[in-house]
Each structure stands twice: as C-alpha cells, then as structure tokens.
C-alpha cells in the first residue's frame, strides 16, 4: 500500500481530494476549505505504487460547519464484500463526531456504521464516555452532552453481534470549560478566553463595565 486518498463529495460541488500521511498504524490528514453542509460523503481508497485500488471505505452523511472541526474515522475494507465461514467480530466501518470541540454542557452529534461478514448476525452499537450523557440512538446517530468541566475525553463505540463478538474504536473530544467573571454591578460578565490560559480576549462581553483584552496570538474559544 503506497498511499491513501480521501475524496469529499457534496451535491452540486466539485470534489476535493487529499493524500493522507501515515502515522504508525493509522493514516491521518486535515482537510480545510470545505463548504459547510449536512450531507457530505468522505470516500477513502488505498492505492499501490502503480495506482491500483486495494481497499476502500466511506463515511456518509457527514456534517460540516464553518468555524468548527468534524472528526471522521474510516476503516478500509476489501473492494468486494465477502462472507465469513467462521464467526468473526463486526467491524466499525466509520465514526464521525461534530463538532470535535465543544464548550462544557454543549452537545456533539455522533454517527457510527458497522458491518458483519457473518450472514444473519445482528449488530448492536453502544457508546461509552467517562462523563456527560448520551441521548437515545436513532438510525446510527446519537447525541452526547458534554460534562460541566473542561477536559479531553475519549468517547468509545463498540459494535457487537449476536455471537457475543465485538470491536471498538474511540474518538477524542475536547471539552472547553465555560468561563465567567462577575461585574461591579453584581451581574455576570461572559467573555471568550484564550486557549490554555485564563486571559479573556475578543469583544464578547455582555456588560460594558468590563473590557476584554486581546493579547497578540490569542485564540478565542
């Protein structure tokens, strides 16, 4: 396998293709400049040195929003689906999370797809997290509400079948703490804050009694 390419398709728009970079056992990459929408399809293909297709994978129904990152995980599989003669665990074929970074108490939409090479097996998807709360799943989509404190949390998804076999993947989600400070008038003043520090930045205060400052290089969240 010489390289992996990912192509993003959207109705009525020109496709965008990017080569991924190998990192240990995974291939990763960041695609920028994509237009927002709710029906984006990510197609991944592994190629040999001569350009022949070896494996493919897809994540459909991906949500993209300006100013927010979306995580997309794709598992590559055989070009032609085959059936197994022995019991095999189901495979998670794709995971997506939108957005990949949220403020405490906000929600993330998660989508998972899986397949099983054993005919007749029923697949069950289960999400887990060290904090926060999940909604009831619907059509492979579930909503997770972040906890009240900031942290980087790993959200796990397990695909299991009727034979008790399963496989899992995890997605890292960054939860940003909600910052606030009191005003001299007794009300609450909410400002955006720099990532990794407590210094406020921007001009997002809701009270004129407090003025946000924006140091050089400040990234607001």
Q: Are 50 and 148 part of one and the same domain?
A: yes
State the sign of the Cα–Cα–Cα–Cα dihedral 212, 215, 216, 220.
negative
Q: Are 197 and 117 part of one and the same domain?
A: no
Is residue 217 predicted with pLDDT exceeding 70? no
Report CA-CA distances (Å) from 74 to 41, 44, 55, 71, 147. Answer: 11, 7, 11, 10, 27
Rounded-to-integer distance, Cα 173 and Cα 68, Å: 12
Q: Are 142 and 188 part of one and the same domain?
A: no
Rounded-to-integer distance, Cα 139 and Cα 110, Å: 11
220 confidence band (pLDDT: 50, 70, 90)? very low
Q: Are 160 and 189 part of one and the same domain?
A: no
State the sign of the Cα–Cα–Cα–Cα dihedral 38, 23, 101, 127.
positive
For the ranges 32-46, 103-117, 170-184, the lowest mean pLDDT is seen at: 170-184
Residue 8 sits in a domain whose CATH number is 2.60.40.10
Q: Are 157 and 220 part of one and the same domain?
A: no
Q: Are 209 and 171 part of one and the same domain?
A: no
Contact assessment for residue 98 and residue 63, using Cβ atoms and an 8 Å cutoff: yes
For all residues of the chain together, what is the average pLDDT? 83
Rounded-to-integer distance, Cα 144 and Cα 158, Å: 15
Q: Are 8 and 94 part of one and the same domain?
A: yes
Q: Are 66 and 8 part of one and the same domain?
A: yes
Rounded-to-integer distance, Cα 161 and Cα 92, Å: 12
For residue 23, the model assigns a pLDDT of: 85
179 confidence band (pLDDT: 50, 70, 90)? low
109-160 confidence digits (pLDDT tens): 999 999 999 988 999 999 999 999 999 887 779 999 999 988 999 999 999 9
Q: Are 196 and 161 part of one and the same domain?
A: no
For residue 187, the model assigns a pLDDT of: 39
Q: How many domains does the chain have?
A: 2
208 confidence band (pLDDT: 50, 70, 90)? very low
Rounded-to-integer distance, Cα 164 and Cα 90, Å: 10
pTM across the whole model: 0.77
Q: Are 137 and 81 part of one and the same domain?
A: yes
51-91 confidence digits (pLDDT tens): 999 999 999 999 999 989 999 999 999 888 788 888 999 99
Q: Are 187 and 112 part of one and the same domain?
A: no
Tell me the two tokens of residue 163.
């034979």
Mean pLDDT across 165-170:
95
Q: Are 104 and 198 part of one and the same domain?
A: no
Structural domain boundaries enclosing 189: 179-221
């Amino acid at each position: 396998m010489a390289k992996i390419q990912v192509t993003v398709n959207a109705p009525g728009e020109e496709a965008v293709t990017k080569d991924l970079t190998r990192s240990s056992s995974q291939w990763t990459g960041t695609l920028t400049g994509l237009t927002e929408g709710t029906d984006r399809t990510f197609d991944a293909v592994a190629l040999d040195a001569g350009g022949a297709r070896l494996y493919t994978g897809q994540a459909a129904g991906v949500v993209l929003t300006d100013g927010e990152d979306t995580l997309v995980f794709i598992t590559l599989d055989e070009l032609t689906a085959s059936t197994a003669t022995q019991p095999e665990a189901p495979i998670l074929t794709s995971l997506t999370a939108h957005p990949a970074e949220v403020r405490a108490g906000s929600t993330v939409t998660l989508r998972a797809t899986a397949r099983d090479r054993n005919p007749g097996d029923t697949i069950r998807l289960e999400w887990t997290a060290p904090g926060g709360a999940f909604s009831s799943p619907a059509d492979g989509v579930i909503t997770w509400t972040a906890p009240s404190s900031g942290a980087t949390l790993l959200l796990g998804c397990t695909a299991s079948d009727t034979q008790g076999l399963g496989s899992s993947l995890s997605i890292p989600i960054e939860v940003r703490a909600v910052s606030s400070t009191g005003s001299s008038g007794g009300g609450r003043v909410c400002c955006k804050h720099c990532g990794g520090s407590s210094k406020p930045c921007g001009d997002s205060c809701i009270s004129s009694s407090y003025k946000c400052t924006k140091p050089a290089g400040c990234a607001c969240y």
